[in-house]
Amino acid sequence: MSPPEILVDARGHRCPVPTLRLRRALERAPAGASVRLLADDPLARIDVPHFVTGTDWVLLAQEIEGEVLSFLVGRSAGDSAA
């Protein structure tokens, strides 16, 4: 069974709200989980990768579909902390 993926839908919110919601979800995520953030604020394209750089998490994927940005964040392979 694959690790759970937590969905955080921050569409309709302006920065810094998407990043704050991502941070809250990461703090609560169980071990092995990844968090997918959906946002439609163009600034999230800059804010989210910058935020993740300062954490124990890594940006696993970043996609754009129309005006919706999707970020998948998880633990680095060598990090087993929750």
Question: What is the tens place of the pLDDT at every residue in 16-75?
Answer: 999 999 999 999 999 889 999 999 999 999 999 999 998 889 999 999 999 999 999 998
Residues in the chain: 82
Instruction: For residue 77, name the pLDDT band (cuts at 50, 70, 90).
Output: low
Q: Where are the domains of the chain?
A: 5-75
Instruction: For residue 82, name the pLDDT band (cuts at 50, 70, 90).
Output: very low
pTM (2 decimals)? 0.89
pLDDT in tens, 3-18: 789 999 999 999 999 9
CATH number, domain 5-75: 3.30.110.40
CA nearest neighbour of 44 among 11, 8, 72, 19: 19
